[in-house]
């Protein structure tokens, strides 16, 4: 088993996540893309932890999963409220911060 396989997998997942964040207009899908990025990080943490025969990577991965659960909870709540107010979760319409 090579660590490079995990690294490639993580890089692919990361790239997919970034792509999803930058391109998707649906807020929920953007949130899901964020999850992809986080999970790619998890993969890296676990893989490099195993490589170095350390448990720290797995501990960090567990932390990230916990934080990600909380993050997605808050994120979904925001999206839900936006939907209630605007009847849409299209991010391209949300430009109140335009300078």
Partner 1 sequence: MGWTTSAAAATQTTASVLAAETSEAAEEVLAASGWFLENAWLIPAFPALSFLLILFFGKRFPKRGSEIGILAVGASLVFALAAAIQWISEVNRADDKNAALDAVSTTWTWWQNGGINFTFGTLVDGLAVTLLVVVTIVSLLVHIYSTDYLADDRRYTHFFAFLSFFTASMLFFVLSENTLQMIVGWELVGVCSFVLIGHWWEEKPNSSAALKAMLTNRVGDIGLLVGVSVLFFAAGETFSVLELNERAISGNIEHLPLLVGACALTAAVLSKSGQFFLHTWLPDAMAGPTPVSALIHAATMVVAGVYLIARLYGVFFEGFAIAGSSVNLLAVIGGITTLVGASLAFVQRDIKRVLAYSTISQLGYMVLALGVGAWTAAVFHLFTHAFFKACLFLGSGSVSHAVHSFDMKSDMGGLRKYMPHTYRTFMIASLALAGLPPLAGFWSKDEILAGTGGWGLVGGTGGNGAYTVMLVMGLITAALTAAYMTRCVYLTFFGQYRGHGQPHESGPRIVVPLWILAVLAVGAGWLNLPPGFQLVPENWTERFGHFVEPNEALSYFPKIAHADPSWTLAILSAVVALAGIALAGRYYFGKVAAVSPSATELSDGMVARSSLAAAGHNLLVNKYYLDHLYSGVIAGGVKGPIARAAYKFNQDGIDKVVNEVGERAVQAGHFAYDVIDQKVVDGMVNSSGVAPQLAGEEIRRMQTGKVQTYAGIVFIAAALLALGFIVFL
Residues that bind partner 1 (CB under 8 A): 18, 21-23, 30, 91-92, 94-99
Q: Which is nearer to partner 1, 58 or 88 (CB)?
A: 88
Contact in structure between 44 and 92 (CB atoms under 8 Å): no
Please report how close the Cβ of residue 96 comes to partner 1 at its closest, in angstroms: 6
Give Dmax over CA atoms of the chain in angstroms. Answer: 51
Please report how close the Cβ of residue 52 comes to partner 1 at its closest, in angstroms: 20
**What's the Cα-to-Cα distance from 8 to each of 21, 34, 53, rounded to whole Å?**
20, 18, 20
Q: Which is nearer to partner 1, 58 or 71 (CB)?
A: 71
């Amino acid at each position: 088993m090579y660590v490079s396989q995990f690294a490639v997998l993580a890089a692919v997942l990361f790239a997919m996540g970034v792509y999803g964040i930058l391109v998707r207009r649906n807020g929920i899908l953007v949130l899901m893309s964020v999850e992809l990025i986080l999970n790619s990080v998890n993969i890296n943490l676990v893989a490099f932890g195993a490589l170095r025969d350390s448990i720290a990577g797995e501990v960090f991965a567990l932390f990230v999963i916990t934080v990600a659960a909380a993050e997605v909870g808050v994120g979904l709540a925001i999206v839900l409220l936006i939907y209630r107010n605007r009847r849409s979760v299209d991010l391209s319409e949300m430009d109140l911060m335009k300078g």
